[in-house]
Amino acid sequence: MRRVINALREWMQLRVRLRDERQFHRDRATADLRALGLSARAAKRRAHGRLGSRQHRILALRELGGDWAGLIRLFLAHRVHASPSFQPMALIAGSLLILLLSPAPRLILESVAGQPLAAEDRGAVFISNQARNLTYVGITKADFESIQSLHGLTKLERYQSIHARAQANKDVTVAAIEAMVRMRTGNPRLRAIPLFERHAIVMGPAKAVWRLLAFCSLFFVAKFRSKRRWLGYGLAVGSLHALASLMTWALAIQLWSGIAWSTDGRALLGFLFLSAVYLGVVALQCHVWWRDLRRRCPRCLESLLLPLTEGSTDCFLLNSATTESVCAHGHGVLVETPWASRFRPEQSPLQGLVHG
> Could you read off the pLDDT of 149-202 as tens digits, one per residue?
888 888 889 988 889 989 888 888 888 888 988 988 888 899 988 888 888 899
Pairwise CA distance, residues 127 & 163, whole Å: 6
Mean pLDDT along residues 16-44: 85
pLDDT at 93: 93
Considering the domain architecture, whether residues 91 and 205 belong to the same structural domain is answered as yes
Does residue 59 register a pLDDT over 90? no
CATH number of the domain that residue 127 is part of:
3.30.70.100
On the question of pLDDT at 314 being above 80, the answer is no
Question: Do 245 and 314 have their domain in common?
Answer: no
* Predicted local confidence at residue 315, as pLDDT: 65
Please check whether residues 242 and 97 belong to one and the same domain.
yes
3-class state of residue 79 by DSSP = coil
Residue 130 phi/psi, 5° resolution? Answer: -95, 125
Quote the number of domains for the chain.
4
* Residue 300 lies inside a defined structural domain of this protein: no
Own/partner pairs, 274-280, CB within 8 angstroms, 24+ separation:
275/205, 278/205, 278/206, 278/209, 278/245, 278/248, 278/249, 278/252, 279/209
pLDDT band for 95, please (50, 70, 90 cuts): very high
Q: Is residue 151 located within the same domain as residue 171? A: yes
Q: What pLDDT was estimated at residue 275?
A: 93
In a domain, 299, yes or no: no
- Looking at 241, 275, 294, the residue that finishes a domain is 294
> Quick one: average pLDDT of 243-247?
95
Residues 99 and 230 in one domain: yes
The mean per-residue pLDDT over the stretch 236-265 comes to 92
290 in the same domain as 145: no
**Range in 123-137, 173-187, 305-319 the model is least confident about:** 305-319
Highest mean pLDDT among 81-95, 130-144, 183-197, 235-249: 235-249
Mean of per-residue pLDDT scores for the chain: 85
217 shares a domain with 187? no
> In whole angstroms, what is the distance from residue 184 CA to residue 147 CA?
7
**63 has a pLDDT exceeding 90:** no
pLDDT average, residue stretch 276-294: 92
Q: Tell me, what's the pLDDT at 318?
A: 65
* pLDDT at residue 351 tops 70: no
* Average of per-residue pLDDT across 252-272: 90
Which of 233, 226, 212 minimizes the C-alpha distance to 83? Answer: 233
Residue 101's pLDDT is what? 93
Domain contains 326: yes
Whether residue 240 has pLDDT greater than 70 = yes
Same-domain status, 161 and 210: no
Q: Give the H or E element holding residue 124.
A: strand 124-129
Q: For residue 350, what pLDDT band results from cuts at 50, 70 and 90?
A: very low
Quote the domain boundaries for residue 251. Answer: 85-114+201-294
pLDDT digit string, tens, across residues 325-343: 888 888 888 887 777 778 8
Residue ranges of the alpha helices (H) in 162-297?
A: 174-185, 196-199, 204-221, 228-257, 264-294
Q: What is the pTM of this model?
A: 0.78
Question: What average pLDDT score do residues 243-248 get?
Answer: 95
Q: Where are the alpha helices (DSSP H) in 102-227?
A: 105-113, 119-122, 141-146, 174-185, 196-199, 204-221
Least confident residue range of 221-230, 241-250, 328-337: 221-230
Name the band, by pLDDT with cuts 50, 70 and 90, for residue 313. low
Q: What percent of the chain lies above the pLDDT cut of 90?
A: 23
Distances (CA, A) of 6 to 10, 220, 303: 6, 37, 18
Q: Which residue has the higher pLDDT, 223 or 107?
A: 107
